[in-house]
């Protein structure tokens, strides 16, 4: 009988420890949820973000669908996406020529700018 009493008391202790652990974890989860939640976005901030998103999308559409200069000094232009696809498909007919053209364009685009002219010596 005494062993049964000890078992009951130790089992009750284990149950209390497990329930207490779960309560501590639940309290920590609640605290993390409460203190790490970002503040609500105000209505005017939401409208401002929507306006900026519209401006960005308009600029992206214009960039994808219109010609423009990327670097006028190096002669690099931006093509509309449809025309770029057409040119890529045309060049893909001969892979060796396409690769050599691609390498030449990459070298031209990544070339270092020329060194600025040296200042003449004021004593000459």
Is the separation of the CB atoms in 117 and 107 below 8 Å?
no
Q: What pLDDT is stored for residue 72 in this prediction?
A: 85
Per-residue pLDDT tens for 2-29?
666 776 778 888 899 999 999 999 999 9
Measure the CA–CA gap between 83 and 102, rounded to whole angstroms: 16
Per-residue pLDDT tens for 58-94?
999 998 899 998 888 888 889 998 998 998 888 889 8
- Report DSSP state, residue 82: H
Per-residue pLDDT tens for 48-58?
999 999 999 99
Q: What pLDDT is stored for residue 111 in this prediction?
A: 79
Both tokens of residue 54? 């519209």
Measure the CA–CA gap between 70 and 57, rounded to whole angstroms: 19
Both tokens of residue 22? 């779960």
Both tokens of residue 11? 């089992």
Domain boundaries, the chain: 1-39, 65-110
Q: What pLDDT is stored for residue 4 in this prediction?
A: 62
């Amino acid at each position: 009988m005494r062993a049964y009493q000890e078992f009951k008391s130790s089992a009750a202790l284990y149950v209390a420890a497990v329930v207490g652990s779960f309560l501590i974890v639940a309290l920590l989860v609640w605290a993390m949820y409460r203190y790490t939640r970002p503040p609500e976005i105000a209505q005017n901030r939401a409208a401002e973000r929507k306006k900026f998103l519209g401006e960005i999308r308009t600029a992206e559409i214009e960039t994808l669908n219109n010609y423009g200069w990327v670097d006028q000094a190096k002669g690099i232009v931006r093509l509309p996406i449809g025309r770029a696809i057409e040119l890529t498909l045309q060049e893909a007919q001969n892979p060796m020529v396409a690769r050599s053209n691609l390498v030449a364009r990459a070298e031209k685009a990544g070339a270092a700018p020329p060194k600025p002219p040296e200042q003449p010596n004021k004593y000459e």
